């Protein structure tokens, strides 16, 4: 993954920035629209990926499931109010036919109502991005996390 | 002195309906639990045989908060030993899982076989005239601390105590029958997820014995019409000590009355109008004789067998201090799963675990209790739902399994004190 296409690189960074901004500014209803309809989104511990085990924390294999997740966490699930701040680094990518494979580190800092900030999750995004009507969208997004011990619960998307 | 630390008369009422909150935060009680429960006459769940199918396979885990390693031995059997070198106490195995026919302590290279027997000690006989171990040194006296290990239907358990009754007897006929319901054919391990909560491990035990909270805390059930008071329920404890139990929600025809009950009582869980865009997550492929949406079965103290729709999990409950516990969700399927069924099991992982639609609130609730009770150790909980009808097994509106748990806990924590008094 050593693609040096700077224009494409700028577009991919802009996509990750938009993704993170959508989550961190609590615009969750807009989050599914960053994916194509037949997308794959999962949050899975690195230890499972390393051993070839499929058990995920969250797995959505279409955009409707992403919207269901948002409705559930808005209306059904109960969890303490929390603010996430996402950071990413080390972005690399390569062209794979029509699609682009992209990887980067991510870090999520969570801040509780009491005002304590902690590292909630560190991991890598392993993404497949495609262009739909001129816009880059996620075909696949795998959040492969190192922080295998999930603190308390995971309600909000990563 | 021991009685001063844990006085059953003061902390847990005989019928288990009142418990002093101190049991959730006291370091002394926690330490005593490690001795009397986790190192006492119980079988602790370590993992699935399917996690270590090949000779030399191993997994690091815990009994209580003691690090142990379970292994597949050369003869195809199972072993478990405390992960503490017999020499100077270093952890021998430093990986979560892997395959090895010998385990070497990095500190001084003492090596042990899969059963924990000492294989070799560097410079045991010295070198070039320099002294080695004293002549009376016998390797067989310096094995790793080996635990008794037994498995039941592919579930691996260990015990520190020579007194513990055989595993099958410990589980009991009734609970064994329910385990066989889920473990009725060979399973395949699908990986694990881990969840960490800032609360006492017994609060989670209460939670998995508490059908009363299911439709009230977990609003996903009622919001999307999955599970309601009014379904055919079954709640039962084991016949020996009351520490194991089962809650089942058995599928019947949709009961229109149940929704009406909620509306009348204006309980916040009733919401009309929400529909899942993709309801395949709630599919239920019928694969058991008794068709149930939920099978929640704690086998005290470290295991909860779970079947929710088609997702199958052996949850391992590990105490990490008076106010911390970890849950390890061991996902599995059957070896003969069709690709469709396997896909559904993995998709339904969305329902359970740390991000589970119908489970994420559990640790939220246990942490709320931990925080609410921290400075009120002498205050007591009130666990009386359906106490006047304890014999009833076909209801979810009951706290009898929790009362039974506390009575069993009281006996277990009190027993040694009585015996040791002489």
Same domain, B143 and B184: no
Predicted confidence (pLDDT) at residue B418 exceeds the cutoff of 50: no
Predicted local distance difference test score (pLDDT) of residue B149:
98
Answer whether residue B27 is part of any domain. no
The burial of B389, by beta-carbon neighbours within 10 Å (0-12 exposed, 13-18 middle, 19 or more buried), is given as: exposed
Write the CATH number for B312: 3.90.380.10
Answer whether residue A86 is part of any domain. yes
> Is the CB of A112 inside 8 Å of chain B's CB atoms?
no
Answer whether residue B223 is part of any domain. yes
Same domain, B146 and B184: no
Per the structure, how many domains does chain A have? Answer: 1
> Is the CB of A147 inside 8 Å of chain B's CB atoms?
no
Query: Are the CB atoms for A82 and A154 separated by under 8 Å?
Result: no
Tokens representing residue B315 in the block: 């949850």
The domain boundary, picked from B150, B181, B213, lies at B150
Tokens representing residue B55 in the block: 């000779």
Check CB contact under 8 Å for A154 and B192. no
Tell whether pTM > 0.90. Answer: yes
Same domain, B127 and B201: no
Predicted confidence (pLDDT) at residue B258 exceeds the cutoff of 80: no
- Is A56 or B393 the better-scoring residue by pLDDT? A56
Among chain A residues, the shortest Cα distance to B98 is held by A51
- For residues B331 and B47, what is the distance between their CA atoms, to the nearest angstrom? 11
Same domain, B229 and B92: no
Collapsing DSSP to helix, strand or coil, B135 comes out as coil
For strand A149-151 and strand B187-197, is the pairing parallel, antiparallel, or unpaired? Answer: parallel
Predicted local distance difference test score (pLDDT) of residue B96:
96
Answer whether residue B421 is part of any domain. no
Check CB contact under 8 Å for B196 and A55. no
Give which of B196, B167, B159, B150 is closest to B68, Cα–Cα: B159
Answer whether residue A150 is part of any domain. no
Answer whether residue B22 is part of any domain. no
Tokens representing residue B190 in the block: 């699908």
Q: To the nearest whole angstrom, how far is the Cα of B349 from the nearest Cα of chain A?
A: 7
Predicted local distance difference test score (pLDDT) of residue A23:
98
- Is B214 or B148 the better-scoring residue by pLDDT? B148
Domain that holds residue A127: 6-145
- Among partner residues B193, B197, B326, which is closest to A45 by beta-carbon distance? B193
Predicted local distance difference test score (pLDDT) of residue B118:
98
pLDDT tens for each residue of B81-131? 999 999 999 999 999 999 999 999 999 999 999 999 999 999 999 988 899
Same domain, B276 and B244: yes
Among chain B residues, the shortest Cα distance to A56 is held by B349
Answer whether residue B160 is part of any domain. no
Q: How confident is the model at residue B18 (pLDDT cuts 50, 70, 90)?
A: very high
Domain that holds residue B238: 173-411
> Is the CB of A71 inside 8 Å of chain B's CB atoms?
yes
Check CB contact under 8 Å for A149 and B326. yes
Collect all residues with Cβ–Cβ distance below 8 Å to B90 and sequence separation of at least 6: B84, B105, B106, B107
- Is A99 or B10 the better-scoring residue by pLDDT? A99
Write the CATH number for A129: 3.10.450.50
Residues in chain A closer than 8 A to B217 (CB atoms): 78
Predicted local distance difference test score (pLDDT) of residue A4:
76
Q: How confident is the model at residue B6 (pLDDT cuts 50, 70, 90)?
A: confident
Per the structure, how many domains does chain B have? Answer: 2
- Is B353 or B8 the better-scoring residue by pLDDT? B353
Answer whether residue B337 is part of any domain. yes
- Among partner residues B193, B278, B349, which is closest to A68 by beta-carbon distance? B278
Residues in chain A closer than 8 A to B190 (CB atoms): 53-55
Answer whether residue A1 is part of any domain. no
For the four alpha carbons of B397, B398, B402 and B404, in that order, the dihedral sign comes to negative
Beta bridge partners of B158: B44, B149
pLDDT tens for each residue of B366-393? 999 999 999 999 999 999 999 998 888 8
The predicted complex's ipTM stands at 0.96
Mean pLDDT of chain B: 90
> A139 phi and psi, to 5 degrees?
-85, -40
pLDDT tens for each residue of B58-95? 999 999 999 999 999 999 999 999 999 999 999 999 99
Same domain, B192 and B113: no
- For residues A150 and A120, what is the distance between their CA atoms, to the nearest angstrom? 8
Q: How confident is the model at residue A58 (pLDDT cuts 50, 70, 90)?
A: very high
Check CB contact under 8 Å for B193 and A55. yes
The domain boundary, picked from B150, B181, B208, lies at B150
Predicted local distance difference test score (pLDDT) of residue B259:
44
Same domain, B385 and B244: yes
Tokens representing residue A113 in the block: 């109502």
Write the CATH number for B126: 2.102.10.10
Answer whether residue B5 is part of any domain. no
Same domain, B86 and B178: no
Answer whether residue B311 is part of any domain. yes
> Is the CB of A64 inside 8 Å of chain B's CB atoms?
yes
Residues in chain A closer than 8 A to B198 (CB atoms): 152
Q: Helix, strand, coil: what percent of chain B each, to 5?
A: 30, 25, 45
Query: Are the CB atoms for B47 and B61 separated by under 8 Å?
Result: yes
Same domain, B398 and B324: yes
Tokens representing residue A56 in the block: 């995920």
Predicted confidence (pLDDT) at residue B270 exceeds the cutoff of 70: no
Same domain, B146 and B179: no
Check CB contact under 8 Å for A75 and B277. no
pLDDT tens for each residue of A71-106? 999 998 999 999 999 999 999 999 999 999 999 999
């Amino acid at each position: 993954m050593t693609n040096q296409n700077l224009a494409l690189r700028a577009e991919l960074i802009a996509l990750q920035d938009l993704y993170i901004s959508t989550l961190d500014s609590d615009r969750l209803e807009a989050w599914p629209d960053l994916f194509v309809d037949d997308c794959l989104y999962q949050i899975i511990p690195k230890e499972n990926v390393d051993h070839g085990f499929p058990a995920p924390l969250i797995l959505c294999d279409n955009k409707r499931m992403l919207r269901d997740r948002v409705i559930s966490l808005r209306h059904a699930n109960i969890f303490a109010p929390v603010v996430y701040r996402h950071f990413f680094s080390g972005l690399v990518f390569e062209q794979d036919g029509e699609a682009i494979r992209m990887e980067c580190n991510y870090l999520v800092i969570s801040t509780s109502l009491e005002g304590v900030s902690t590292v909630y999750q560190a991991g890598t995004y392993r993404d497949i991005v495609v262009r739909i009507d001129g816009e880059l969208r996620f075909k696949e997004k795998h959040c492969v996390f190192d922080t295998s011990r999930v603190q308390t619960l995971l309600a909000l998307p990563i | 002195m021991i009685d001063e630390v844990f006085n059953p008369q003061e902390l847990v009422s005989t019928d288990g309906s009142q418990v002093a909150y101190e049991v959730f935060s006291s370091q002394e009680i926690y330490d005593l639990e490690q001795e009397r429960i986790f190192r006492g006459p119980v079988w602790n769940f370590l993992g699935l045989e399917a996690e270590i199918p090949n000779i030399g396979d191993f997994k690091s885990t815990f009994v209580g908060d003691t690090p142990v390693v379970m292994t597949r031995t050369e003869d195809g059997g199972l072993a478990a030993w405390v992960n503490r070198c017999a020499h100077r106490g270093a952890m021998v195995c430093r990986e979560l899982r892997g395959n090895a026919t010998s385990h070497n302590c990095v500190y001084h290279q003492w090596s042990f076989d899969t059963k924990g027997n000492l294989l070799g000690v560097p410079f045991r006989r010295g070198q070039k005239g320099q002294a080695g171990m004293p002549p009376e040194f016998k390797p067989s006296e310096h094995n790793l601390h080996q635990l008794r290990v037994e498995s039941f239907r592919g579930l691996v358990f260990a015990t520190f105590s020579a007194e513990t009754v055989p595993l099958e007897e410990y589980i009991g006929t009734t609970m064994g029958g329910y385990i066989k319901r889920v473990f009725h054919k060979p399973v395949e391990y699908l990986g694990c997820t881990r969840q960490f909560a800032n609360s006492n491990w017994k609060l989670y035990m209460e939670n998995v014995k508490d059908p009363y909270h299911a439709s009230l805390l977990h609003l996903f059930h009622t919001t999307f019409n999955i599970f309601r008071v009014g379904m055919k329920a079954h709640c039962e404890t084991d016949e020996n000590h009351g520490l194991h139990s089962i809650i089942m929600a058995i599928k019947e025809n949709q009961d229109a009355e149940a929704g009406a009950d909620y509306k009348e009582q204006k309980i916040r869980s009733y919401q009309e109008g929400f529909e899942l865009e993709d309801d395949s997550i709630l599919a239920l492929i019928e694969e058991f004789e008794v068709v149930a949406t939920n099978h929640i079965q704690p086998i005290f103290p470290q295991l909860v067998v779970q079947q929710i729709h088609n997702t199958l999990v052996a949850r391992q409950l590990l105490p990490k201090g008076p106010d911390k516990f970890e849950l390890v969700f061991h996902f599995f399927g059957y070896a003969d799963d069709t690709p469709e069924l396997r896909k559904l099991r993995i998709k339904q992982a969305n329902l359970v675990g740390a991000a589970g639609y119908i489970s994420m609130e559990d640790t939220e609730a246990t942490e709320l209790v931990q925080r609410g009770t921290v400075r009120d150790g002498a205050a007591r909980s009130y666990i009386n739902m359906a106490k006047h009808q304890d014999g009833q097994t076909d209801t979810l509106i009951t706290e009898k399994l929790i009362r039974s748990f506390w009575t069993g806990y009281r006996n277990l924590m009190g027993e040694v004190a009585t015996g040791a008094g002489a």
